[in-house]
């Protein structure tokens, strides 16, 4: 298998669980000193196009070139550059812009949140939806993206065979995976679209709710309760 990418699929802390599979999956890195919230894209404009690059203005800043396939610190991703137009991912949605056009990101409305309770071991497990079908998740800030086992992917109707091949770092070493895009992921009152994910070649006891979902959340922990609030 050709290595297309390398990704982290677990928390990097030492784990005490006896079972090796569960040890690879049941660590939740909810640290008190979480990284500060990044600046998000409220307004994005297409100032020009170049071969394989788009010239963008973000939040009224100076124009800057962003290469095809790249994502800015504000979360704007360049998907397609074609002639006098470009297709971007802004606010989790595809936006087609012509040179000179702008788009405003839609902010989360009041009430888009999920409140989770820790189990006896301090892990946050919840039942949500992937592409409208039920999925059991473990919240894992150490996982770069949402991660699914082969059996769950098949049950959800996700065909990973055409996904980009790569490897994920787990507690048991590197494991082959395929990168896919999920049409929708819902937890509580929060729904995100076009969420990056990986599918493992083996089964997992549950899905990992990784940073491709969590990086768009404000996360607040109080005792055994974790509240996720959609930021954008």
Please give the angle made by the CA atoms of 155, 156 and 161, to the nearest 5 degrees.
90
The dihedral region occupied by 60, where left means phi > 0, alpha psi between -120 and 50, and beta the remainder, is left
- The residue ranges of every structural domain in the chain are 6-31+109-230, 43-104
The percent of residues in the chain predicted with pLDDT above 70, rounded, is 78
Query: What's the rounded mean pLDDT across residues 157-169?
Result: 93
Own/partner pairs for 173-180, CB < 8 Å, 24+ apart?
174/6, 175/9, 175/200, 175/201, 175/202, 176/1, 176/200, 176/201, 177/7, 177/9, 177/147, 177/201, 179/4, 179/5, 179/7, 179/145, 180/153
In the chain, count of helices (H) and strands (E)? 3, 18
Per-residue pLDDT band at 83 (split at 50, 70, 90): confident
Give yes or no for residue 111 having a pLDDT over 50: yes
Pick the more confident residue, 211 or 31.
211
* Structure tokens, 120: 């006896």
Per-residue pLDDT band at 7 (split at 50, 70, 90): low
> Which of 1, 10, 5 has its CA nearest to residue 167?
5
Report pLDDT digits (tens) over 201-225.
999 999 999 999 999 888 999 999 9
Query: What's the rounded mean pLDDT across residues 21-35?
Result: 35
Q: pTM to 2 decimals? A: 0.60
Give yes or no for residue 167 having a pLDDT over 80: yes
Fold category of 43-104 in CATH: SH3 type barrels. (2.30.30)
- What is residue 38's three-state secondary structure? coil
The percent of residues in the chain predicted with pLDDT above 90, rounded, is 48
Pick the more confident residue, 55 or 38.
55
User: Which of 43-52, 126-135, 177-186 has the lowest average pLDDT?
Assistant: 43-52
Give yes or no for residue 82 having a pLDDT over 80: yes
User: Which CATH number fits the domain 6-31+109-230, given the four candidates 3.30.300.30, 3.40.50.170, 2.40.70.10, 3.20.20.370?
Assistant: 2.40.70.10
């Amino acid at each position: 298998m050709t290595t297309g990418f390398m990704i982290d699929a677990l928390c990097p802390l030492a784990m005490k669980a006896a079972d090796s599979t569960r040890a690879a999956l049941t660590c939740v890195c909810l640290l008190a000193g979480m990284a500060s919230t990044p600046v998000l894209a409220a307004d994005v404009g297409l100032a020009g196009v170049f071969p394989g690059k788009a010239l963008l203005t973000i939040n009224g800043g100076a124009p800057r070139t962003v290469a095809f396939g790249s994502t800015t610190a504000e979360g704007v991703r360049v998907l397609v550059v074609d002639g006098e137009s470009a297709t971007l991912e802004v606010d989790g949605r595809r936006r087609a812009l012509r040179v000179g056009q702008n788009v405003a990101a839609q902010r989360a409305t009041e009430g888009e949140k999920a409140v989770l309770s820790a189990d006896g071991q301090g892990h946050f497990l919840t039942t949500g939806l992937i592409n409208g079908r039920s999925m059991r998740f473990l919240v894992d800030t150490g996982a770069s993206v949402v991660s699914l086992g082969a059996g769950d992917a098949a049950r959800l109707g996700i065909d990973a065979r055409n996904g980009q091949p790569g490897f994920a770092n787990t507690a048991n070493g590197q494991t082959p995976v395929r990168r896919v895009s999920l049409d929708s992921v819902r937890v509580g009152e929060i729904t995100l679209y076009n969420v990056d994910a990986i599918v493992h070649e083996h089964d997992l006891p549950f899905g990992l709710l990784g940073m491709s979902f969590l990086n768009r959340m404000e996360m607040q922990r109080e005792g055994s309760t974790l509240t996720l609030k959609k930021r954008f």
